[in-house]
Amino acid sequence: MGQYIAPLRDMQFVLHELLDVTAELKALPAHAEVDADLINQVLEEGGKFTSRVLFPLNHVGDREGCTLDPLTHEVTTPSGFKEAYRQFVGAGWPALTCDPQYGGQGLPIVVYNPLSEMLNSANQAWYMYPGLSHGAYQCLHAHGIDELKRLYLPKLVSGQWTGTMCLTEAHCGTDLGLLRSRAVPQADGSCKITGGKMFISAGEHDMAENIVHLVLARLPDAPAGTKGISLFIVPKFIPDADGTLGARNAITCGALEEKMGIHGNSTCQMDMDDASGWLIGEPHKGLNAMFVMMNAARLGVGMQSLGLTEVAYQNALVYAKERLQMRSLSGIKAPDQPADPIIVHPDVRRMLLTAKAYAEGGRAFTAFVALQIDRELNHPDEATRKDAADLVSLLTPIVKAFITDNGWIATSEAMQVYGGHGYIAEWGMEQYVRDARINMIYEGTNTIQSLDLLGRKVLLDNGASLKKFGALVQAFVEEHGLDDAMNEFITPLADIGDKVSKLTLEIGMKAFRNRDEVGAAAVPYLRVVGHLVYSYFFARMAKIALDKLDSGDPFYKAKLATARFYFARLLPETAMLIRQARSGAKPLLDLEAELF
For residue range 455-501, list pLDDT tens digits in order: 999 999 999 999 999 999 999 999 999 999 999 999 999 999 999 99
Whether residue 192 has pLDDT greater than 80? yes
Flag whether pLDDT at 293 surpasses 80: no
Based on the domain organization, do 52 and 80 belong to the same domain?
Answer: yes
CB–CB of 422/416 below 8 Å?
yes
pLDDT score of 504? 98
Q: Which of 313, 306, 524, 528 is nearest to 403 (CA)?
A: 306
DSSP H or E segment with residue 280: strand 267-280
Q: State how many domains the chain has.
A: 3
Question: 257 an active-site residue?
Answer: no
Q: Are 31 and 338 in contact (CB under 8 A)?
A: no
Residue 31's pLDDT is what? Answer: 98
| pLDDT given for residue 290 in this prediction | 80
Q: In 3D, which of 64, 65, 55, 59 has the Cα closest to residue 121? A: 55
| Dist CA 65 CA 262 (whole Å) | 8
Report pLDDT digits (tens) over 372-430: 999 999 999 999 999 999 999 999 999 999 999 999 999 999 999 999 999 999 999 99
16 located within any domain: yes
* Consecutive H or E run containing 502: helix 487-513
Q: Which residues contact 197 (CB under 8 A, 6 or more apart)?
A: 166, 167, 168, 169, 181, 203, 215, 269, 270, 272
Strand-pair category, 161-166 with 210-217: parallel
Alpha-carbon gap, residue 277 to 217, rounded angstroms: 10
Q: How far is CA 360 from CA 19, 306, 407, 414, 536, in A?
A: 14, 9, 12, 15, 13
Of 108, 143, 178, the position where a domain reaches its end is 143
Please check the confidence at residue 1 and state whether its pLDDT lies above 80.
no
Identify whether residues 184 and 250 lie together within a single domain. yes
Whether 139 and 89 map to the same domain: the answer is yes
In whole angstroms, give the CA distance from residue 547 to residue 572: 26
CB-based contact 162:94 (threshold 8 Å): no
Q: Say what the pLDDT of residue 288 is.
A: 85
Domain that holds residue 236: 161-284
Taking residues 312-335, report their average pLDDT.
97
| 414 belongs to a structural domain | no
Mean pLDDT value across the chain? 96
- pLDDT for 127: 98
H/E/C letters for each residue in 178-215?
A: HCCCEEEECCCCCEEEEEEEEEEECCCCCCCCEEEEEE
Tell me if 313 is assigned to some domain. Answer: no
pLDDT at residue 219, as a whole number: 97
Band (pLDDT 50/70/90 cuts) for residue 231 is very high
The pLDDT value recorded for residue 476 is 98
CA angle 38, 43, 48 (to 5 degrees): 125
**pLDDT, position 291:** 78
Assess contact for 44 and 8: CB atoms under 8 A.
yes
Cβ atoms of 94 and 133 closer than 8 Å: yes
Query: Does residue 188 share a domain with residue 135?
Result: no
| pLDDT at residue number 90 | 98
**Alpha carbon distance 284, 596 (integer Å):** 40
Predicted confidence band of residue 550 (pLDDT cuts 50, 70, 90): very high
Residue 159's Cα: distance from chain center in Å?
A: 21
Answer for the pair 496, 570: CB distance below 8 angstroms, yes or no. Answer: no
The verdict on 39 and 136 lying in the same domain is yes
Q: 279, 240, 4: which is closest to 139 by C-alpha?
A: 279
pLDDT for the residue 297 = 86
| Contact present, 250 and 267 (Cβ < 8 Å) | no
CATH of residue 21: 1.10.540.10
CA torsion sign for 57, 61, 63, 67 is positive
Please tell me the distance from the alpha carbon of residue 193 to that of residue 179, in angstroms, as a whole number.
Answer: 13
Does 519 share its domain with 566? Answer: yes
| pLDDT classification of 233: cutoffs 50, 70, 90 | very high
Tell me the helices (H) and strands (E) count for the chain, helix number first: 18, 11
Q: Are residues 202 and 255 in the same domain?
A: yes
> Is 356 inside any structural domain?
no
Residues 6+ apart with CB under 8 A from 516: 585, 589
What does DSSP assign to residue 379? -
Tell me which of 284, 314, 340 is where a domain ends.
284
In sequence order, what are the beta bridge partners of 234?
213
Domain boundary among 250, 269, 284: 284
536 falls in which pLDDT band (50, 70, 90)?
Answer: very high
Reduced to 3 states (helix: H, G, I; strand: E, B; else coil), residue 366 is: helix
Do residues 80 and 182 both lie within one domain? Answer: no
- Give, rounded to a whole angstrom, the gap between the first and last alpha carbons of the chain: 44
| pLDDT above 90: residue 108 | yes
> How would you class 382 by CB atoms within 10 Å of its CB: exposed for 0-12, middle for 13-18, buried for 19 or more?
exposed
d(CA 42, CA 414): 29
- State the pLDDT at residue 487: 98
Domain co-membership, 27 together with 138:
yes
Of 324, 413, 401, the residue nearest 365 (C-alpha): 401
Query: Is pLDDT of 368 > 90?
Result: yes
Beta bridge partners, 237, equal 248
The stretch 233-257 carries a mean pLDDT of 97
Instruction: State residue 20's pLDDT score.
Output: 98
Shared domain for 14 and 138, answered yes or no, is: yes
Is 520 within the bounds of a domain? yes
Provide the pLDDT for residue 16: 98
CA nearest to 128, candidates 263, 2, 282? 263
pLDDT at 371 over 90: yes
3-state secondary structure at position 341: strand
The neighbouring-strand residues paired with 76 are 67
Residue 339, pLDDT score: 97
Distance CA(403)–CA(306), nearest Å, equals 7
Strands 251-256 and 210-217: unpaired
Q: Which CATH number characterizes residue 256's domain?
A: 2.40.110.20
Q: Please report the pLDDT score of residue 175 as a whole number.
A: 86
The answer to whether residue 128 sits within a structural domain is yes
- What's the pLDDT at 177? 85
**Cα distances (angstroms) measured from residue 250 to each of 88, 213, 234, 238, 247:** 29, 12, 9, 10, 9
Element (H, E) at 162: strand 161-166
The whole-number pLDDT of residue 479 equals 98
pTM, 2 dp: 0.98
**For range 53-76, the mean pLDDT:** 98
Size of the chain, expressed as the number of residues it contains: 596
The answer to whether residue 221 sits within a structural domain is yes
Helix axes 36-49, 109-143, angle to 10 degrees: 90
Residues 90 and 169 in one domain: no
Can you name the residues that pair with 192 across neighbouring β-strands? Answer: 184, 276
Q: Is 210 left (phi over 0), alpha (psi -120 to 50) or beta?
A: beta
Note the pLDDT of residue 173. 80
Question: Max CA-CA distance within the chain?
Answer: 84
Among residues 204, 413, 430, 443, the one annotated as catalytic is 443
The answer to whether residue 443 is domain-embedded is no
**Are 135 and 249 members of one domain?**
no
